[in-house]
A and B are shown apart, each in its own frame.
Chain A
């Protein structure tokens, strides 16, 4: 059995490493930022090894922003599926749980459409047609026109129990979708992390490293936002955290949440394990890091964590997760680029907000805005 598991691990690791080699190079980012239209971006991506198999439109240059984003957004999910063929049920279930996070995105978008009227059902339909969702009854979900119908589409699936209460409450009393969304994210992270605990040695450690870090960053970020922007009480801020902990234990999170005021909290955060996210090159002297920079720094920490897995040279499903994380972050970078090109932002400035550190620093990146930990 262990021989087979070794085979599984070696196969997926080799595949993940090959796929990693196909990710966009820093020069690609630079080229993409030079374009003037979204169509040009699509045409360029259609010629790269990383996106050519997915952008199959006969004339990619005619693609609209929404369509292109829909295509590239589904890439990490489409790439997850073939890995499963090499894996046994235990590891495949873990990988599926990762893919289900994207299915959850469909649920989130349907919820948003119902509550705000914003969004395009047709785009979602196409997305579900290309990658069927497994966490809900897809037909029912896409046809749902009320929160109750969304809930109905989840009946019989694990998410039903998680969302029943929050959604019924919103349907009855109104309110934002914040809590249901958090509940869904928490559900999948918990599943992956508890699945990761069952894996042996470096593989289990790797899975915990990737998703534990993610959980820590989310917890830290929400405490920060809750107190900094939403003026929530410490209890509420702490209550918003995920029930998953990695390096930031409950006591540490409580100390952040119960800090007497926001400046003291930021000070504590800066001295914490992930303090680099709250610092700029000015170190602790700079009063506070900007909202966008903070988000970008957090993604960089994820990027760094995933890259470290590749550097470790170990083999297993965690390497696949590391690759998929890098791919997911690459897609986020492409979204940033598409937005920059679409709205003709200053490209030099735009580079600062790319997650890929080499791409951001490529050709004339201003050093003073680069986080010190890079």
Chain B
């Protein structure tokens, strides 16, 4: 359980073997590629024969090919082949072969598309000519006469509505006359008049407003009486041809589906293999591949190398070694189902950095405890769990988040039995422990005890982490080290005795507290005296304030846990208020109905609103009180390359 140990791993071998091994690594899903220098920095001997000649790569040669195939499928409007159905291995096709086949297909599709576009232009022009003819007809003008004016230049074209507005604006400061003919779908077909002397300047303006000019002279050449009809026929011919060309890719794919699907699978597989090999080094056909893997999977990889790479060298390096060289390793968490659910809560704060203690198991325990303590009710807990299950089933709530709420609901039910509370009523079930309304002092004492226990646990984890890091001085004398823990426990016992005995705090305990305070205050001095110069000193003033802050936070953090009791009481109080309200409306006409409505709405508010508040308070206790004692986070998730996620790298 917890943060999985990682290792640096490098494979050096002939291309074919590395490709086959990369396919296996994709299936195992345990390899995150890293640049060569990351893992091979201390391996000059392995590469001494040609270290200087290693060329490195960044580009995946199969990306472009896959893009082209995607383009083919998109043009055909067909469904992509199921990638899961593709065989997971290295196909025998070479890059050159793949490239030739893919380009052949893409070229065909391109040709059809270009032809369709030419025809589309033609059709657009014919439509514009039709609109022009209609406009002239409505103005009772002859086509040939209009086009053969001597001093006037007539431009007919199409532009966006926005640019048309701009053209109109320009017409106010230039000798242009602008008239709209047809306006639809954000475009305007417009006629612009200007003198022939100004045409050169006018054309510059047309360019700035992206006016698509239609040279209609050739279309109207030899215009006869049935010109409009002839235009319509040509337009229909163009439309038919365009349709046929648009259907061509789909028909082509339909005819050669199997062959093209095989090609797609091959390119897809190789694209994934080279996504894994993207940061490789290469020298004379030998591939050098470096990455990070979870240490427990090294044996599996070694087995694969033995099977598939007789000429491949496997080099591995412990994560700790990499860390010593300043390499940040990714974090992979491995926990059982129950704890895994609460990884989300930890990740919401921050992922543990590599080597740090994963707090997920403790969060799983404490989250259930805190939530149940504050929201203990059999009925409400059941509604919460059932609601989370239903929302997750409907896809409204993320599965992981729903699991957290479900477990929180179950915990609320367990505490409901302890409190003897069902939908706020404490009269239906006998209480197995205490009831919030009648045993508030029990609850406060328990919540304080829970606080002391959890904060102590946080400090102990911090002490263990400091020990692991070899920071003995800090571990012994720091406010959040052994001295701090002893101070906290002594203070807790002193306070408990002072409150319970009524005779004030015992003097020997006060003396111990004073001594421990001095130890913590002069921790840097003691550390230097006993262990020599350690970490960079933070300065006397800062240190003093830090000490006071740390020690005061013991008090504030512990007091924070009183909220466990406060919210348990709050829950009981809110439920009582709902019952009182329902009793008040009971005497009204139709009172039974009103009562039911108040009970229903009241319980919905309790589950929804109070449930949310308690959830937030639980997170608050985790993040501020508990995590602040030991947890830093800042980890980077382990991101292996797999057969899925085409472009994750």
Contacts and interface: CB of A to CB of B under 8 A. Distances in A.
Interface of A: 56, 58-59, 62, 122, 125, 129, 137, 139-140, 142-143, 148, 152, 161-162, 165-166, 169, 179, 183, 190, 232-233, 235-236, 238-240, 243, 250, 254, 258
B60 to A, nearest CB: 8
Contacts of B327: 58-59
B63 interface: yes
Nearest to B163: A243
A235 B114 CA distance: 35
29 contacts: A58-B327, A59-B327, A139-B67, A139-B70, A139-B74, A140-B67, A140-B71, A143-B64, A143-B71, A148-B114, A152-B113, A161-B187, A162-B160, A166-B210, A169-B210, A179-B207, A179-B208, A233-B201, A233-B204, A235-B170, A235-B205, A239-B166, A239-B170, A239-B204, A239-B205, A243-B163, A243-B166, A250-B169, A258-B173
Contacts of B170: 235, 238-239
Contacts of B212: 165, 169
B328 interface: yes
A62 B186 contact: no
Contacts of B210: 165-166, 169, 179, 183
B80 to A, nearest CB: 11
Nearest to B113: A152
Contacts of B114: 148
Contact of B208 (A58, A148, A152, A236): A236
B68 interface: yes
A239 B209 contact: yes
B159 to A, nearest CB: 8
A236 B71 contact: no
Interface in B191-215: 201, 204-205, 207-210, 212
Contacts of B63: 125
A243 B162 contact: yes
B587 to A, nearest CB: 35
A230 to B, nearest CB: 12
B22 to A, nearest CB: 20
A235 B174 contact: yes
Contacts of B647: 125, 129
B612 to A, nearest CB: 15
A29 to B, nearest CB: 25
Contacts of B148: none
Among A129, A142, A148, A165, residue most surrounded by chain B Cβ atoms (within 10 Å): A165
A122 B59 contact: yes
A118 to B, nearest CB: 17
Contacts of A240: 208
Nearest to A175: B207
- Top 8 A-B pairs, shortest CB-CB distance: A239-B208, A143-B67, A165-B210, A236-B204, A129-B647, A122-B59, A243-B166, A239-B205
Contacts of A58: 34-35, 38, 327-328
Nearest to A186: B162
Nearest to A166: B210
B468 interface: no
B636 interface: yes
Contacts, number: 82
Interface residues of B, number: 43
A183 B205 CA distance: 15
B205 A62 contact: no
Nearest to A237: B208
Contacts of A169: 210, 212
B186 A161 contact: yes
Contacts of A143: 64, 67-68, 70-71
Contacts of A235: 170, 174, 201, 204-205
Given A239-B209, A240-B208, A148 B117 contact: yes
Interface string B437-467: 0000000000000000000000000000000
A129 to B, nearest CB: 5
A56 B32 CA distance: 14
A255 B204 CA distance: 19
Contacts of B160: 161-162
B67 A62 contact: no
A183 B173 CA distance: 22
B74 A140 contact: yes
Contacts of A254: 173
**Max chain B Cβ within 10 angstroms of own Cβ: one of A56, A59, A179, A250:** A59
Contacts of A233: 201, 204
A56 B636 contact: yes
Nearest to B165: A243
Nearest to A151: B117
Contacts of A183: 210
B316 to A, nearest CB: 18
Contacts of A190: 162
Contacts of B328: 58
A56 B328 CA distance: 10
Interface in B21-74: 34-35, 37-38, 58-59, 63-64, 67-68, 70-71, 74
A62 B326 CA distance: 13
Contacts of A232: 204
Given A140-B74, A183-B210, A236 B68 contact: no
A122 B35 CA distance: 16
A143 B110 CA distance: 13
A179 B209 CA distance: 9
A162 B113 CA distance: 21
Nearest to A239: B208
A152 B120 CA distance: 14
A62 B279 CA distance: 14
Contacts of B166: 239, 243
